């Protein structure tokens, strides 16, 4: 039996989570779903966005499914990543049929360092002699250990998934010490994988933002620091039809959390209009992590069928179906 911590969170997180559990419960796999609270509504009720009880539930689970958080996202998901040392954030960019994808055959992975960089939250105000705020500072931390760990993960991922190239993304021409260190470590790791036939290259992050639009098919695996990875993965979502189609995995040495990239979307929350695909794809990544690859493939094929037919899809995919109706359509097409 797999113990799965389930955190629906805020807004559409509840709806897409319900749609996803609807599919997982139809599989011939023994799951125990343990529900936990976190997010804006949790903070309103309890005074804290991420209760200690929720952290303990996640720590004891085999994996965690997370829906969405609103204004408290930094207090919830960023803290969970740090508490569990979920150092690798995997964000696949893949074209699916029946979507607004700008390209038909994109398939690359962004591997983002998850524990340091700008997102450590070390900020402070600059004040004048009278105490007036005149500015603010943010500390960016890049360490050799974290850089080596994320680069090693990216190259190992490439090797295990028959990928041929890893691209390191940085801004070492300006951030000479922090990104200079990341680039240096990237090539140290790359050297170890030359004999495996895995190519390596590096680009500045601003150039990469352009290349994702002009030649995205040239990418296979991208590895980068926290903030850059966050921004580039949202650009990747734009290439393949929007955030409603992008899943993600947060992987550590012992634990893992899976979540859609989209937020809580309060404007459509409670209306059963949200596209559940990103959450379902995140569950597929969870199944792969747990070693249930046959089930993962079965759901992926079912999603492909539903998207290809374009009959039972949500409004963002030019359909008229509800969240749960799309979930039911996917469930009906699972052959497992």
Residue 296, pLDDT score: 96
Active site residues: 119, 171, 206, 230, 234
Is there a contact between 151 and 183 (Cβ–Cβ < 8 Å)? no
Whats the size of the chain, residue-wise?
336
Strand partners, 109: 92, 221
Fold of 1-87+246-336: Isopropylmalate Dehydrogenase (3.40.718)
Residue 32 falls in which region: left (phi positive, over 0), alpha (psi -120 to 50) or beta:
beta
Spatial separation of the C-alpha atoms in residues 14 and 226, rounded to whole Å: 27
Residue 243's alpha-carbon distances to 100, 141, 271, 314, in angstroms, are: 11, 28, 18, 13
Q: What's the CATH architecture for 107-239?
A: 3-Layer(aba) Sandwich (3.40)
Same fold, 1-87+246-336 and 107-239: yes
The distance of Cα 299 from the centroid of its chain, to the nearest Å, equals: 19
Strand partners, 93: 108
Residue 119, pLDDT score: 87
Other beta carbons within 10 Å of 229? 23
106, two tokens: 């994109």
Spatial separation of the C-alpha atoms in residues 24 and 334, rounded to whole Å: 11
Is there a contact between 167 and 221 (Cβ–Cβ < 8 Å)? yes
Strand partners, 65: 6, 258
Spatial separation of the C-alpha atoms in residues 324 and 312, rounded to whole Å: 10
Give the CA angle between residues 105, 323, 25 to the nearest 5°: 90
Dihedral over Cα of 206, 110, 304, 18: its sign? negative
80, two tokens: 């969970």
Any idea where the domains of the chain sit in the sequence? 1-87+246-336, 107-239
The per-residue pLDDT string of the chain (336 residues; one tens digit each, 9 = 90 and over) reads 999 999 999 999 999 999 999 999 999 999 999 999 999 999 999 999 999 999 999 999 999 999 999 999 889 988 898 889 999 999 999 999 888 889 988 999 999 999 999 988 899 999 999 999 999 999 999 999 999 999 999 999 999 999 999 999 999 999 999 999 999 999 999 999 999 999 999 999 999 999 999 999 999 999 999 999 999 999 999 999 888 889 999 999 999 999 998 889 899 999 999 999 999 999 999 999 999 999 999 999 999 999 999 999 999 888 999 999 999 999 999 987
Residue 241, pLDDT score: 85
């Amino acid at each position: 039996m797999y113990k799965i911590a389930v955190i629906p969170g805020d807004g559409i997180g509840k709806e897409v989570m319900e749609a996803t559990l609807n599919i997982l419960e139809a599989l011939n796999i023994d799951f125990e779903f343990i529900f936990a609270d976190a997010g804006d509504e949790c903070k309103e009720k309890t005074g804290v966005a991420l209760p200690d009880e929720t952290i303990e539930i996640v720590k004891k689970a085999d994996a965690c499914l997370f829906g969405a958080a609103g204004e408290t996202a930094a207090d919830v998901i960023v803290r969970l990543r740090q508490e569990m040392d979920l150092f690798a954030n995997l964000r696949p960019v893949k074209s699916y049929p029946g979507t607004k994808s700008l390209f038909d055959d994109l398939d690359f992975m962004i591997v983002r360092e998850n524990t340091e960089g700008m997102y450590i939250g070390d900020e402070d105000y600059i004040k004048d002699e009278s105490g007036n705020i005149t500015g603010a500072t943010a500390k960016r931390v890049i360490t050799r250990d974290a850089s080596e760990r994320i680069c090693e993960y990216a190259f190992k991922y490439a090797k295990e998934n028959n990928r041929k190239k890893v691209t390191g993304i940085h801004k070492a021409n300006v951030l000479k010490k922090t990104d200079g260190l990341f680039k240096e470590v990237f090539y140290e790791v790359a050297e170890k994988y030359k004999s495996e036939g895995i190519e390596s290259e590096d680009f500045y992050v601003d150039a990469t933002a352009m290349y994702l639009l002009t030649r995205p098919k040239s990418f296979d695996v991208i590895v980068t620091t926290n903030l850059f990875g966050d921004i580039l993965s949202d650009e990747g979502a734009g290439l393949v039809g929007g955030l409603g189609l992008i899943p993600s995995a947060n992987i550590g040495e012992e634990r893992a959390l899976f979540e859609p990239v989209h937020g809580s979307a309060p404007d459509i929350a409670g209306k059963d209009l949200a596209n559940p695909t990103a959450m379902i794809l995140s569950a597929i990544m969870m199944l792969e992590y747990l070693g249930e690859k046959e089930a993962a493939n079965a759901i992926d094929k079912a999603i492909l069928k539903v998207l290809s037919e374009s009959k039972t899809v949500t409004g963002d995919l030019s359909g008229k179906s509800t969240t749960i109706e799309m979930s039911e359509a996917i469930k009906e097409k699972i052959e497992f």
